Each structure stands twice: as structure tokens, then as C-alpha cells.
Amino acid sequence: NCKNGDDVIRAVKEYNVSFIQFWFVDILGNLKSFQVTPSELESAFEEGMGFDGSSILGFTRIEESDMVAFPDATTFQICAWRPMERPVARMFCDVRNPDGTPYEGDPRYILRKLTEKAAQKGYTYYVGPELEFFLFASSQCPQPIDAGGYFDAPPLDLGNDVRRDIIFALQRMGIPVEYSHHEVAPSQHEIDLRYNEAMKMADVVMTYKVVVKEMARKHGVYATFMPKPIFGQNGSGMHVHQSLFRNGRNAFFDPNDPHHLSGECRSYIAGLLKHAREFCCVTNQWINSYKRLVPGYEAPVYLAWAQRNRSALIRVPMYKPGKEAATRIELRSPDPACNPYLAFSVMLAAGLEGIEKGYELPKAVEANIFHMGEEDLTKHGIGSLPGSLYEAAMELKGSALMQEVLGEHTHANLVGNKLIEWDAYRTHVSEFELQRYLPVL
Ligand code: GLN
Ligand code: MG
Ligand code: MG
Ligand code: MG
């Protein structure tokens, strides 16, 4: 648990660390890394480490491509998936311009701005994500390695040993795990992390994804966070439990409300509902993300909230007496292939907007929305999430709130990147078309 550069330098000596990986992410949440030797650390803490940002997605215009990575000492950890002898460590970095100002395209900076805005209102933002993933025989085709289902135990659950090694590795890196289980689809798994402040959690999510992939590789299997790898089976989500605390108390809790939810919590939910279409391109950023958001697979489609109903976008877990701190809401749309920094930023922004503007929360919808027809949906005023990446990108493009949260640079880059992806997909002639049309047309 390092607090500053001196602590890190001491730890590096004590554990005989050979290299330190400097980590940061691009706008899509791809992890970027370069290795630094211990002798460089002192100057890295003082002056940062320069790198060329021009080949990193969403990072710069060519003419201002010199970027500087400043390591965040508090994130120093020994990498549990690397050999323990002469170990490798990692630190997350903040990316700055050569003049020392924060780089506007750095996702950590975007999230920090939002959590600081929340802090000005007295709030600390806590998130608890549930990342689902598949284990396949290889990265070449989605071939399951077991036929297990929800909560199945070994021998049906063949990912058990992989999951155990993942959890041990996470724990060695100081990341507490709440529980883990086999998920609904064959070869699908979930490991739930203990909730934490958003910035710490976004770093943890990045680490989690590396650990899952590396441990799977050690077992000779391939782990993927692709949102919907198998047609006809559940996809992988990243439900995000969230709450706001003020002065150490849960600001979402109200003992006198029938749902035990405060007015702030209701407005927060209303904010998520109202802006969900605008932020969907961030929480669900791939063509494939929209193959998951269809009826019938426990993934949300409709803009509603409920207490028991898992077809709703937002679920409010039932209050357990005495568990005031656990009062929270669960947003079920995000998938684990999102950029966690930006995803937490846009969710918090939407919720805060709801509180600031005093949005009214629509009534809970406890019926299974997937069983409702067009007419019922209209009658209840229930809208839906974007049906495709294109629709989502256009919503993001038109959103003033999202432009404000992401900053003009990242907003424009993200929309542009997604429209290029859409165009590649739109013009591609697929297996589906050949099978369907060639024999008959
Ligand atoms: N896999 C489902 C999703 O796509 C969630 C299933 C569950 O956790 N009950 O969100
Ligand atoms: Mg779960
Ligand atoms: Mg799950
Ligand atoms: Mg859940």
C-alpha cells in the first residue's frame, strides 16, 4: 500500500522488482503499457515518462503527439500473474500534455473530473460491477469447455480451477472478491468484486480483465469479455451496482420510504433512465454489444426500473433490515467490453443530472417487460435502448450532456470511431446473407 514515490522505490528494492509496467488506457479502454526499469523511477515520479501519443487511438493530433505519463504511486502492485522471482509490478498513470496540464483525452482524467464534481456536492460515488466472461478452447471459435449452467458445481463446472486461480491472483493484488459462480450459459462465469470508489474500481476492472485472461491462458483456455459470443445463449454483462454516500452515510437510503429509497436515489434512477439512450454507446460500445441487448436473455432492452424484475434496465435490490449501507441500484445494460473509466463517468453524470434537475421517477414496472406487446409498452410510456451501434452513436452525438462529460475531444473521437466501425459492418457481406439469399435469389 504505497502512498508516494518514495514508498514505491522502497518496495521495488525490498521485493527485488525487475520491471515496472506503466499502464494507461485509450478511449476504447484498451490497456496500454510500457516497461520501466527501477533506476528510472525517481525521475518518472518527478517529471513523468514521455511517449508518442500519435499512434494511440483517440489520443492526439499528430502535431502535438508528445505525451507524458505520470505514475500514480497509490496504484503500485506486484503483478500476480508474472513469476514471483524478480517480480514485475504495475502502476496506473495519468496522462499529461508536455506543459504538465492534464490530457483531455485521458479516461482517468475524465472520471476524476466527474468524481470531483460529485465531491463538491458532498458525494462519494461507489460502484460494484459484476463482470461476466466465457472460457473457450481457443480465441478462434466460441467452443465451450463445459456444459454447466447457473450455479452448477463441478464436475459440470470445468472453469472452477481457473476461477480459483483468478481469485487467488486478485487477492494477492489486494483486490477483494465477494463471490464467484458458473453463469447461465455453458462455459460462462462471473466473479464479483467488493464495491469501491469509482476511480479505484475502474483501475481494478482493468486489472481484473488482465488477470482473467492471463490465468485462463495458464490453464490452456481462452477468456473473453465479448458481449455476445454465442447466438441463442446469454451474453456477458457488467451489471453495475451503484450508490452515493454523504458524510459516510448512504445517501440512497430513507427508512420512511416504502422502497427505502431517498429522494436523491429516485432522481438518480430517473437520470439514468432519461439519459440511458445517450450514454449507451459508452457502456455498450461494439457492434456485438447490441446482439446482447435483445429480449429473452436476462439483458435489458426497455427503459424501466423495478425491484424484482430482471428484465428492467435498473433493478433495486430488496432492502434487508439493518443493511442501510447496502442500499443501491443496479444498472444492467453495461457490458464488460466497455471502457470502465468512461462508463462510470457517464453513469454518474446521468444520475447527478437527475438529482440536480430534480427529475421525477416513473413508476416501477414489476411485470416481465419482455412479455409486453407494443401497446402495453406505449401505454406505460416505456422506451427502449438503442437497437444498434449506429443508433447509439447518433444518440451520443446529439447529447449535450455527454459532450460536456467526455469533453469535446473525446466525444468527437468516440462518435467518429464508432461510425467508422458501423460503416465497416454495414458494407460487409456476411455469412447470414450468403446462406439466406444466394440459394434463392
Ligand atoms: N448474462 C446476463 C446479461 O447479459 C445476466 C445474467 C445474470 O447475471 N443473471 O446481463
Ligand atoms: Mg451476479
Ligand atoms: Mg450474472
Ligand atoms: Mg446482477
Q: How far apart (Å, rounded) are the C-alpha atoms in residues 270 and 100?
A: 38
Q: Which residue has the higher pLDDT, 373 or 163?
A: 163
pTM score of the predicted model: 0.96
Residue with cell 473509466: 341
pLDDT of residue 84: 87
Render pLDDT for 303-361 as a digit per residue (tens, 0 to 9). Answer: 999 988 778 999 999 888 888 889 999 999 999 999 999 999 999 999 999 999 999 99
Nearest ligand to the C-alpha atom of residue 239: 4
pLDDT of residue 60: 62
Q: How far apart (Å, rounded) are the C-alpha atoms in residues 344 and 346?
A: 6
Ligand 3 centroid – CA 6 distance (Å): 41
Please give the number of the atom of ligand 1 that sits closest to the Cα of 235. 4
Full 3-state SS string of 312-365 = EEEECCCCCCCCHHHCCEEECCCCCCCCHHHHHHHHHHHHHHHHHHCCCCCCCC
Q: For 112-137, b where at least 16 C-beta lie within 10 A, e where not — what string? A: bbbbebbeeeebbbbbbbbbbbbbbe
Ligand 1 centroid – CA 134 distance (Å): 12
Nearest ligand to the C-alpha atom of residue 296: 1
Mutate which of 132, 238, 309 for ligand 1 pocket (most atoms within 8 A of beta carbon): 132
Nearest ligand to the C-alpha atom of residue 237: 1
- Catalytic residue list: 52, 130, 132, 183, 190, 239, 310, 330, 332
Nearest residue (CA) to ligand 1, atom 7? 298
pLDDT of residue 337: 98
**Mean pLDDT on 176-204:** 93
Please give the number of the atom of ligand 1 that sits closest to the Cα of 130. 8
In terms of phi and psi (left: phi > 0; alpha: psi -120 to 50; beta: otherwise), the region of 5 is alpha
Ligand 3 centroid – CA 183 distance (Å): 6
In terms of phi and psi (left: phi > 0; alpha: psi -120 to 50; beta: otherwise), the region of 351 is alpha
Lowest average pLDDT, out of 3-12, 320-329, 382-391, goes to 320-329
Range among 97-111, 164-178, 387-401 rated most confident:
387-401
Within 10 angstroms of residue 330's Cβ, the number of other Cβ atoms is 18
Percentage of the chain surpassing pLDDT 90?
A: 80
Which of 191, 169, 187, 170 shows the shortest CA–CA distance to 179? 191
Range list of H helices, 260-328: 263-283, 289-292
pLDDT of residue 64: 60
Give residues with Cβ within 8 angstroms of 321, minimum separation 6. none
pLDDT of residue 408: 95
Please give the number of the atom of ligand 1 that sits closest to the Cα of 188. 1
Percentage of the chain surpassing pLDDT 70?
A: 97
Render pLDDT for 217-252 as a digit per residue (tens, 0 to 9). Answer: 999 999 999 999 999 999 999 999 999 999 999 999
**Mean pLDDT on 9-36:** 96
Ligand 1-lining residues (CB < 6 angstroms): 132, 184, 234-237, 292, 298-299, 332
Read off the pLDDT band of 152 (50, 70, 90): confident
Mutate which of 187, 239, 331 for ligand 1 pocket (most atoms within 8 A of beta carbon): 239
